[in-house]
A and B are shown apart, each in its own frame.
Chain A
Amino acid sequence: MRPFLVGQFGNASSIHQEGQQARSAVEQARARVARFLGCRPSEIVFTSGGTESDNLAVFGSAAAGDHVICSSVEHHAVLHAVKRLGERGVEVEFLPVNGLGVVSAEDVRRALRPNTRLVSVMMANNETGVLQPVAEIGRIAREAGVRFHVDAVQAAGKVAIEVDAIGCDLLSISGHKMHGPQGTGALFVRSRTRLEPLFAGGAHERQRRAGTENVAGIVGLGKAAEGAMEGLCSGAGERMGVLRDRLETGLLEFASGVNGGQTARVPNTSNLWFESLDGEALVIGLDLKGLAVSSGAACSSGASEPSHVLEAMGLPVERARASLRFSLHRQTSAEEIERTIELVSIQVAKLRELSAVTQ
Chain B
Amino acid sequence: MTIAVAMSGGVDSSTVAAMLKAEGHELVGLTMQLWNQRRLADKDGMPEQVQGRCCSIDDVYDARRVAETLAIPYYVVNHQERFERDVIRPFVDEYLAGRTPIPCSLCNNHLKFDQLLLTARQIGAEQIATGHYARNEYDPQRGRWILKRPADASKDQTYFLFGLTQEQLSRTLFPLGGFTKPEVRELAHQYGLALANKPDSQEICFIPGGDYKRFIDAYLEEQGEAVPDTAGELVSVGGQSRGKHDGVHHFTVGQRKGLGVASPTPLYVIAIDHDRKQVTVGAEQELMRNSLRARRLNWISIAGLQGEMRAQVKIRHRHEPAWATLRQSGEDEVEVRFDEPVRAVTPGQAAVFYGGDEVIGGGWIV
Query: Which residues of A does B touch, CB under 8 Å?
Result: 278, 280-282, 284-285, 287-288, 299-305, 350-351, 354, 358
Chain B residues near A285: list those with CB within 8 A: 122-124
Chain B residues near A284: list those with CB within 8 A: 28, 75, 77, 119, 122-123
Whether a CB of chain A sits under 8 angstroms from the CB of B31 is: yes
Chain A nearest CB, measured from B148 CB (Å): 27
A304 pairs with B28, CB closer than 8 A: no
Docked complex Cα distance between A335 and B28 (Å): 28
What 0/1 pattern do residues 99 to 129 of B give for CB contact below 8 A with A? Answer: 0000000000000000000110111100000
A287 pairs with B73, CB closer than 8 A: yes
Chain B residues near A303: list those with CB within 8 A: 33, 76-78
Whether a CB of chain A sits under 8 angstroms from the CB of B60 is: yes
B121: nearest residue on chain A (CB-CB)? Answer: A354
Docked complex Cα distance between A282 and B118 (Å): 12
B73 pairs with A302, CB closer than 8 A: no
Chain A nearest CB, measured from B31 CB (Å): 7
Chain A residues near B123: list those with CB within 8 A: 281, 284-285, 288
Docked complex Cα distance between A302 and B119 (Å): 16
B28: nearest residue on chain A (CB-CB)? Answer: A288
* Residues 23-79 of B contacting A (Cβ, < 8 Å): 28, 31, 33, 55, 57, 60, 64, 73, 75-78
Docked complex Cα distance between A11 and B77 (Å): 44
Known: A284-B123, A288-B28. A299 touches B75 (CB 8 A): no
Further 12 A-B residue pairs, CB within 8 A, beyond A303-B78, A351-B122, A354-B121: A278-B122, A280-B77, A281-B119, A281-B122, A281-B123, A282-B122, A284-B122, A287-B73, A287-B75, A301-B33, A302-B76, A350-B122
Q: When the two chains form the complex, which single residue of A280, A287, A301 contacts B57, counting CB atoms closer than 8 Å?
A: A301
Q: When the two chains form the complex, which single residue of B60, B118, B122 contacts A301, counting CB atoms closer than 8 Å?
A: B60
Docked complex Cα distance between A281 and B64 (Å): 18
Docked complex Cα distance between A300 and B80 (Å): 14
A302: nearest residue on chain B (CB-CB)? Answer: B76
B56: nearest residue on chain A (CB-CB)? Answer: A301
B122 pairs with A302, CB closer than 8 A: no
Chain A nearest CB, measured from B81 CB (Å): 9
Q: When the two chains form the complex, which single residue of B28, B57, B75, B118 contacts A300, counting CB atoms closer than 8 Å?
A: B57
Which 7 residue pairs across A and B have the least CB separation, nearest first? A281-B122, A303-B78, A303-B33, A303-B76, A302-B76, A285-B123, A301-B60
B32: nearest residue on chain A (CB-CB)? Answer: A303
Instruction: Give the secondary structure class of A's interface.
Output: helix
A300: nearest residue on chain B (CB-CB)? Answer: B57
Chain A nearest CB, measured from B344 CB (Å): 38
Chain A residues near B121: list those with CB within 8 A: 354, 358
Known: A280-B77, A302-B76. A354 touches B55 (CB 8 A): no
Query: Which residues of B does A touch, CB under 8 Å?
Result: 28, 31, 33, 55, 57, 60, 64, 73, 75-78, 118-119, 121-124
B26: nearest residue on chain A (CB-CB)? Answer: A288
Docked complex Cα distance between A301 and B121 (Å): 22
Q: When the two chains form the complex, which single residue of A282, A299, A301 contacts B31, counting CB atoms closer than 8 Å?
A: A301
In the complex, number of A-B residue pairs with CB atoms less than 8 Å apart: 52
Docked complex Cα distance between A278 and B33 (Å): 16
A358: nearest residue on chain B (CB-CB)? Answer: B118
Chain B residues near A301: list those with CB within 8 A: 31, 33, 55, 57, 60, 76
Docked complex Cα distance between A281 and B31 (Å): 13
Chain B nearest CB, measured from A68 CB (Å): 25
A285: nearest residue on chain B (CB-CB)? Answer: B123
Docked complex Cα distance between A282 and B124 (Å): 10
Chain B residues near A304: list those with CB within 8 A: 78
Docked complex Cα distance between A302 and B73 (Å): 13
Docked complex Cα distance between A302 and B57 (Å): 9
Chain B residues near A278: list those with CB within 8 A: 119, 122
B75: nearest residue on chain A (CB-CB)? Answer: A284
A304: nearest residue on chain B (CB-CB)? Answer: B78
Docked complex Cα distance between A278 and B119 (Å): 9
A305 pairs with B78, CB closer than 8 A: yes
Chain A residues near B122: list those with CB within 8 A: 278, 281-282, 284-285, 350-351, 354
Can you show 5 pairs from A to B with CB atoms below 8 A apart?
A284-B119, A288-B124, A304-B78, A350-B122, A354-B118
A288 pairs with B73, CB closer than 8 A: yes
Chain B nearest CB, measured from A131 CB (Å): 30
B80: nearest residue on chain A (CB-CB)? Answer: A303
Docked complex Cα distance between A301 and B118 (Å): 21
A357: nearest residue on chain B (CB-CB)? Answer: B121
A299 pairs with B73, CB closer than 8 A: no
Docked complex Cα distance between A287 and B122 (Å): 13
Chain A nearest CB, measured from B7 CB (Å): 12
B114: nearest residue on chain A (CB-CB)? Answer: A358
Docked complex Cα distance between A299 and B33 (Å): 10
Chain B residues near A299: list those with CB within 8 A: 33, 78
